[in-house]
Structure formats: C-alpha cells, structure tokens
Amino acid sequence: MAAPPGVEDPISALFDLSERAARMAPVVRRLYRYTAAILVTWIVIMVVLILVGLGAAGWLVLLALIGLGGGVIALGLLRQTDRFFREFTQRYRWIQLVRDADPIAKVPEGRTPIERLGRHLAVANPRVAELLKGRPGSLRYRVGVRAGGREVPFDLIVEEPAGAVARWSGLGEPGFAVLARSGPDAPTLDDLRRFESDAAAAAPGLDGRVARLILLRTSVVPLPQEVYEYAVGHPAYVPWGFGRHRVTLEIVTENPDGTYDFVPHVLGVP
C-alpha cells in the first residue's frame, strides 16, 4: 500500500533507522570496553579500600562496601545493555541477509561435492570470503582432529582462530569454525547424533568456536520426517570456554539441477 503524500514509507523508515543504529555498533562496542574497564578498576579500588580499612577505619569499609556494591550493579547493567545491543545488531544483520540473499543458491564449479561446498561457503559468506582472502590455508579438506585419544575425521573445516583469552575463558572474540562432513543420501537420526557427538568431542581441539555444522548429501532422497524435525528443532551443543555453545546442524543437499537445498537454511553464520 502506498504511503500518503508527504509521509514516508514506514517500513523503509524502520529499516533506515535500524541501519543507522547498526552503523553505530563499532562506537558502542568501544564505549562498552572503556566503561567496563573503568568499572572493573573502580571495583578493584573498592576491594583494596575494604582490605585497608579492616584494621583501621570502619567508616572507610562501609563507604567502600557501598561503592563496591554500586560498581557491581553498574557492571551488571552494562553487560545487559551490551547484550541487548548485540542482539539488536544481529537481528538487523539477519534481516539484511534475508533481504539480500539469492533465493536460489547455485552450486559452484569443483571436482568433488565437498570442494564445491567449500567454494560456496567462500562466495556466500562475506566473513569466510574475507578470511580466505587473507589466509587461504584456513580452508582445509580431509582433516582429522585429535579428541580424547582418537582422531575425529571431517571432510571440510573452515577455521578462524580465537584470541588466547577467548579460548581459555570463552570471553572475547571467539573466531569461528565450520565443520562439514559428507553423509549418506538418506541420513538417519543416528547419523545426525554421531556428527553432533564428533563435533562436541573435536571442539576443544579447534582454534575457533564451532559456529556451523553441515552434513552434505548429493542425492535428492526425501528426508524422513523424524530426521527433518530433528535437524530443524534440535540444536547441537559443543564446548566453548567454561560452558557450552548452541549450534545448528544443517543438512545441505546438492541437487542435480545445480542448486542447493538447506534444512534448515542458516544465514549469517559465522
């Protein structure tokens, strides 16, 4: 429906507003880091004042406790604000990806299905394309990852290393890892669960956080209903830092007509 004369399209205005807010993301991230550093410094100072005042002035301990409580509350509110802004910018990124995405994903040239999948990832995802432009060796085929005394095989790995602090604590820039494996044309629930289990076992041996799991098949065989529902509604959980990270397992089918089908279709990951 056309907007009345003199009134802009509300949908376009909403997208423009979201785009302007998304462009502020780098500035907001810097403000968050600076403010968090100041609050952490404040909390450390308050702790020192409490320790100093224990044997001298009770009033100093009381003031320091009040300051410590205020700093902890402020830091918690800051983390919630940062989480909200991250989700807002991520939502806008997903909307933009849906608007810009080609409804039909073409299979690129390549000798094998897994090689064609690697080229598709490089073309379809700007972050992967940027990584491979600077570090072509980040894309590897036929890789074995050591996990608990055994070697877990994958047909394709794309990996961007995380920072040292992020690998140890789970905080900071996590990098990413895309794991792919050629599967049977008619995968079963056991095939999906085995892939999830192998990914979880291999995750601690990777330099980046697992962001995407792909099971590739090359024949158009209807997926059993339980397999389809499992892929769409059951996320995998892989270790990261001190906890676990939620990942979607995606079944990608290479069709005879030179297109891909995705169940489910994961956009913007990594």
Do 139 and 86 lie in one domain? The reply is no
Do 190 and 238 lie in one domain? The reply is yes
State the average pLDDT for the chain. Answer: 83
What is the pTM assigned to this prediction? 0.68
Do 159 and 251 lie in one domain? The reply is yes
Contact (CB, 8 A) for 177 and 143 = no
Considering the domain boundaries, does residue 269 fall inside one?
no
Domain end point (choices 100, 132, 152): 100
Do 143 and 200 lie in one domain? The reply is yes
> Which amino acid is it at 228?
Y
Considering the domain boundaries, does residue 105 fall inside one?
no
Do 117 and 83 lie in one domain? The reply is no
> Which amino acid is it at 82?
D
Considering the domain boundaries, does residue 144 fall inside one?
yes
Contacts of 138 (CB under 8 A, 6+ apart): 131, 132, 158, 159, 160
* Tokens, residue 204: 């601690």
User: Mind listing the pLDDT tens digit for each residue in 38-75?
Assistant: 988 998 888 888 887 776 667 777 888 888 888 889 88
Do 168 and 231 lie in one domain? The reply is yes
Summarize the confidence of residues 76-83 as an average pLDDT.
Answer: 81
Do 248 and 190 lie in one domain? The reply is yes
Domain end point (choices 75, 100, 125): 100
Considering the domain boundaries, does residue 1 fall inside one?
no
Do 259 and 167 lie in one domain? The reply is yes
Weakest mean pLDDT among 71-85, 183-197, 205-219? 71-85
Domain end point (choices 100, 122, 153): 100
Domain extent for 26? 10-100
Give the separation between CA 107 and CA 261, rounded to whole angstroms: 10
Considering the domain boundaries, does residue 5 fall inside one?
no
Do 183 and 84 lie in one domain? The reply is no
Report the pLDDT value the prediction gives residue 18, as an integer from 0 to 100: 66
Q: How confident is the model at residue 172 (pLDDT cuts 50, 70, 90)?
A: low
Cα 14 to chain center, whole Å? 26
Structural domains of the chain, count: 2
Res. 7: pLDDT tops 50: no
Contacts of 170 (CB under 8 A, 6+ apart): 240, 241, 242, 243
Write the secondary structure of the chain as one string of H (helix), E (strand) and C (coil). CCCCCCCCCHHHHHHHHHHHHHHCHHHHHHHHHHHHHHHHHHHHHHHHHHHHHCCCCHHHHHHHHHHHHHHHHHHHHHHHHHHHHHHHHHHHHHHHHHHHCCCCCECCCCCCHHHHHHHHHHHHCHHHHHHHHHCHHHEEEEEEEEECCEEEEEEEEEEECCCHHHHHHCCCCCCEEEEEEECCCCCCHHHHHHHHHHHHHHHHHCCCCEEEEEEEECCCCCCCHHHHHHHHHCCEEEEECCEEEEECEEEEEECCCCEEEEECCCCCCC
Residue 144, domain CATH: 3.40.1350
Considering the domain boundaries, does residue 124 fall inside one?
yes
Q: Report CA dihedral (111, 112, 113, 114) to the nearest 10 degrees.
A: -110
Res. 217: pLDDT tops 50: yes
Do 193 and 231 lie in one domain? The reply is yes
Q: Does the CA dihedral 47-52-54-56 come out positive or negative?
A: negative
Contact (CB, 8 A) for 151 and 205 = no
Do 96 and 128 lie in one domain? The reply is no
Would you tell me how many other CB atoms lie within 10 Å of the CB of residue 37? 10
Considering the domain boundaries, does residue 2 fall inside one?
no
Do 136 and 252 lie in one domain? The reply is yes
Q: What is the distance between the terminal CA atoms of the chain, rounded to a whole angstrom?
A: 36
Considering the domain boundaries, does residue 195 fall inside one?
yes
Contact (CB, 8 A) for 208 and 174 = yes
